[in-house]
Amino acid sequence: MPVVSEQMNRTDRMYAIVEELRAIAPRPRSAAWLAGRFEVSTRTVERDISALQQSGVPVWAEPGRTGGYCLDAAMTLPPVNFSPDEAVALAVALRGLSGTPFHQAGNTALRKLLVAMRETDAHDATELAARIHFVGARPEAPPIPAVLTQAVTARHVLRLRYTDRMGTSTVRDVEPLGYVGSTTGWYLLGWCRLRVGIRAFKLDRIDRVTATAERAPRRTVRPDEIQVPDGDLLTLTLL
């Protein structure tokens, strides 16, 4: 069971909450019980749980008099023996996902790893990461809407407002086929119903996106059908 101290900071407390919920999973713990355990207010516990959920940790609320918060043990990792150096090495590597469709998934994966590490190792990794600085870093890429990445994974037809290289904007329905990475950026590969063919849409030129309820049919893509207008093809991920 995690050790409670008066100086426990928020990061340590969140790790400890996860360990507490893992220890009794799938049974729940109430916010009041957790507040007493970690000597904080129930509001603080609720904020911590909300932050964990937003980070992708599978913590669920069970309603009712005997309810509370529980951890989906099937969706998390047991304690892992990553060293602080190994965890930070992964964090540095995942930084390269900035501007790609996998940026948010990389952040979520890293947080899941941290909460699965031993509390002392996770704390040391957090401290080590704070001492790493990047000089001359590239500008932050515009965020890719979560609705786009989620719909691509689920193969839902997308409605896009897209601005091409000439500055012309169109609205079109697109059946997502995957992603293409080139030396100049990342593209959504899809069957465009407006152009009746496969097109690559540069992600930073998608002005608006809506996921429809329609499931896209599966299509076979040949390499010669993939036309990336800018740069050389580096990565291709098909659904």
Tokens of 239: 């659904």
Q: What is the pLDDT along the chain (239 residues), one digit of tens a residue?
A: 344 433 357 877 887 888 888 878 788 899 999 999 888 999 999 999 988 887 778 888 887 776 789 887 666 556 667 788 888 888 888 877 777 888 877 877 787 777 777 778 878 888 887 777 666 655 556 678 888 888 888 889 999 999 988 889 999 999 998 888 877 778 888 999 999 988 889 888 999 999 998 999 988 877 777 776 655 555 555 55
Predicted local distance difference test score (pLDDT) of residue 2: 42
Fold of 146-238: SH3 type barrels. (2.30.30)
Q: What is the domain partition of the chain in residue ranges?
A: 10-75, 84-129, 146-238
Q: For 10-75, CATH number?
A: 1.10.10.10
